[in-house]
Amino acid sequence: MPEGDSVHKLARRLDRALRGRTVARSDLRVPRLATRDLAGREVLEHATHGKHLLTRFSGDVTLHSHLLMDGEWSVTRPGRQLPRRLQPDVRVVLETTEGSTAWGLRLHQLELVATSQEAQVVGHLGPDLLHDDLDTAEAVRRLRADPEVPLVSAMLDQTKVAGLGNLWANELAFVLGRSPWTPVGEVDVERLVTLAARALRHSATVPGAYQVTTGTGRRGESHWVAGRQRRPCLRCGTVVQMVDEVPNDPANRRTWWCPHCQPGPARPAR
């Protein structure tokens, strides 16, 4: 599932394919943008803030998109098209003068804004854990602002810190040795922010390290708890537990934990 490190890697891949190239034809397949034309603009870069992708063009124009759970981008070589079965999912087409084409599929929150006004679409987000200029003190302040919020829910709140998705929230709770439902005010938040920033950067930039949290990429052993329900904990052998997400509640996604390695509050009764 797309998380901050996923979108960071995507941005670098799109930069390699598109940066410095000029758009020959654009097709924005959402009603409010259908008449907008990006032809003639140079692709300057792909920036990210948390899980949000910002495609910046010459002339102070940014295409903002969010992948949510199922969005993706694909780039085809000159003369090639996406398979016909994928065409209904296409929301953005950017064909360059060199002939390569970028296709955005199942993109969400698609908007065009002035690059100088990007705060309109990402200004509500907390500090990005992958940015070189991460304001650690502000991230800590935001996480501490609601001390009774459960640890995992606090990490998933993108207005507190941007970039952590469900996998990282659950894995970091394990690494901290705390129950997912521990009030965040009882956690060493400075250590949490430091670990989270280091983990996402390692995942996004080190070859072979993408979303490997245990240090080994062996099948079935790359995560401490995420996806390991009813299997033994890799550290102590206790059976890993899982509870389903709360529908339509982004702060309560599917949760995995080891009852032995992560002591603390149990899931509240619903």
Q: Which structural domains are found in the chain, ordered by start?
A: 4-123 (3.20.190.10), 136-257 (1.10.8.50)
Instruction: Give mean pLDDT, residues 132-142.
Output: 97
Q: Mark whether 253 is an active-site residue.
A: yes
Q: 69 pLDDT band (50/70/90 cuts)? A: confident
Give the pLDDT score at 244.
Answer: 86
Q: 251 pLDDT band (50/70/90 cuts)? A: low
Structure tokens at 95: 């064909």
Q: Mark whether 186 is an active-site residue.
A: no
The region that residue 239 occupies, defined by phi over 0 for left and psi between -120 and 50 for alpha, beta otherwise, is beta
Instruction: Single out the catalytic residue among 178, 201, 228, 253.
Output: 253
Give the pLDDT score at 177.
Answer: 98
Instruction: Single out the catalytic residue among 51, 56, 142, 178.
Output: 51
Q: 269 pLDDT band (50/70/90 cuts)? A: low
Residue pLDDT, tens place only, 172-214: 999 999 999 999 999 999 999 999 999 999 999 999 999 999 9
Cβ within 8 Å of residue 15, ≥6 positions away: 45, 46
**pLDDT, averaged across the chain:** 94
Instruction: Single out the catalytic residue among 3, 127, 171, 180.
Output: 3
**H/E element, 57:** strand 52-57
Give the position of tokens 């690059």. Answer: 115
- The CA–CA distances, whole Å, from 48 to 5, 73, 247 equal 10, 14, 27
pLDDT surpassing 80 at residue 268: no
Q: 270 pLDDT band (50/70/90 cuts)? A: low
Q: Mark whether 77 is an active-site residue.
A: no
Q: Mark whether 56 is an active-site residue.
A: no
Q: Cα(133)–Cα(201) distance, rounded to whole angstroms?
A: 13
